């Protein structure tokens, strides 16, 4: 029997999977220069946006799995990019704060988004905005 609903060409999720893998590969070279993995880069962008935040806030902002975040923060601490300290007002809460080396990386990473964006020459700014909106809808619906 023929099941067109099972053809890869008809799958939105497979296209998202392929695009996600391609994007992470595209980031590898640029991030190698600053010695970060893509998930570490996501954490750094969240911290550059708002420093000294709780691990819970960081998990919410990045949507990274909790156990993966724990391992990643350990590696980033070992690289002297950040520190994790107990909150002064609530000892149960741990705060993540950038160190000088982590702050310095922001300048080095400033051109990475444009380098990656240049790899999509067939997508104009309006289409990029629409894509972000559609992906936000997908993420909202699946959460």
Residue 143 banded pLDDT, cuts 50, 70, 90: confident
- pLDDT one-digit tens code per residue, 50-77: 999 999 999 999 999 999 999 999 999 9
Q: How distant is the alpha carbon of residue 37 from its chain centre? A: 10
CB proximity list for 35: less than 8 A, separation 6 or greater: 79
What predicted TM-score, i.e. pTM, was given to this entire model?
Answer: 0.88
- pLDDT one-digit tens code per residue, 6-39: 888 899 999 999 999 999 999 998 899 899 999 9
Runs of H (alpha helix) within the chain: 12-32, 38-49, 55-62, 66-78, 100-109, 112-117, 125-142
- The CATH T-level fold of domain 9-113 is Arc Repressor Mutant, subunit A (1.10.10)
| pLDDT at site 82 | 98
């Amino acid at each position: 029997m023929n099941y067109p609903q099972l053809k890869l060409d008809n799958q939105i999720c497979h296209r998202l999977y392929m695009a996600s893998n391609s994007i992470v590969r595209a980031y590898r070279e640029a991030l190698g220069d600053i010695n970060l993995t893509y998930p570490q880069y996501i954490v750094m962008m969240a911290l550059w946006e708002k420093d000294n935040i709780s691990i819970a806030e960081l998990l919410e902002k990045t949507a990274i799995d909790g156990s993966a975040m724990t391992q990643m923060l350990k590696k980033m601490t070992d690289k002297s990019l950040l520190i994790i300290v107990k909150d002064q007002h609530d000892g149960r809460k741990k705060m993540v704060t950038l160190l000088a080396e982590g702050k310095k990386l922001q300048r080095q990473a400033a051109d990475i988004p444009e380098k990656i964006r240049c790899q999509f020459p067939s997508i104009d700014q309006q289409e990029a905005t629409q894509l972000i909106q559609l992906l936000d809808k997908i993420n909202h619906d699946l959460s």
